[in-house]
Amino acid sequence: MTEVQLTKITVEVARLRAQADDLEAKAERDDRMFLLAFSEYGSELAGPPQSIAMNRNKAKELRKRAEFFESVKLGDVHLSDPPALENRVMQINKQIEDLQKDKVDAYLKIRLLQQLAEVVKG
């Protein structure tokens, strides 16, 4: 990667982390406000606002993206990786299909063995 590209990644990582920090801080503030309201109103409240969980989830997502971009900067991942990754996904899908077939076969054998056990038993 060029210096310009690395600098752009560095800036983006900083932006993502700052945005994640802001969302976490907002979730913390909302959580504290809810706890104060709960201590005053108790079970009359329906529960914590969904925005708390949504902000925390979004912050977590942003941090993961920042970590990924950092791994690109460190050379662990490359912009040329998508074809290899797509090939890996196709291989995994094939393995899943094969496992599904094996599973269906196993269930069929179980059912046949149960029927055989009934025949032998009776």
> Which residues, including other chains, have CB under 8 Å from residue 17's CB and lie 6 or more apart?
62, 63, 66
pLDDT for 1 equals 79
pLDDT for 109 equals 97
pLDDT for 40 equals 83
pLDDT for 94 equals 97
pLDDT for 67 equals 96
Cβ-contact 60, 103 below 8 angstroms:
no
Successive 10-residue mean pLDDT values, the chain, 122 residues: 91 98 97 89 80 96 96 87 92 98 98 95 82
